Amino acid sequence: MTAPVQKQVLINARALIADPAHWTRSVLACTAAGDNIAWYDPSAAKWCAVGAIYRATFDLVGDPREATRIGKKVARSISPIWCCRSLMSINDLRGHEAVLAVFDKALAAA
């Protein structure tokens, strides 16, 4: 994947979850009511950090499998920025502000 594509995915993913009302923990995505749902479902209204990366990738490529493949690479590429903790762990254990800080640091380095 090219660096410009990865950067665009990160920009779009961060925008999806910038508002805490559109961010979640412990699931990739859910509806506004909090029901677990596929991250690519049009009814999804909240995403975790990884779910947001997958969704932002899907919005660019239009295929869930390809979005998952590319999204995993993007998520792995920014995880080492925070002492080798996985992005999911940061999302679920450290919270919204920590997730945005990871995105911001990755974007600054891109």
Q: How far apart are CA 50 and CA 39, in angstroms?
A: 9
Domain containing 86 equals 3-109
Whole-number pLDDT of residue 83: 44
If you average pLDDT over residues 17-30, what whole number do you get?
98
Sign of CA dihedral 64, 69, 74, 80: positive
**Interval 66-80: pLDDT, tens:** 999 999 999 988 875
Number of domains composing the chain: 1
Q: Name every residue whose Cβ is closer than 8 Å to that of residue 102 and which is 6 or more positions away in sequence.
A: 49, 78, 81, 82, 87, 90
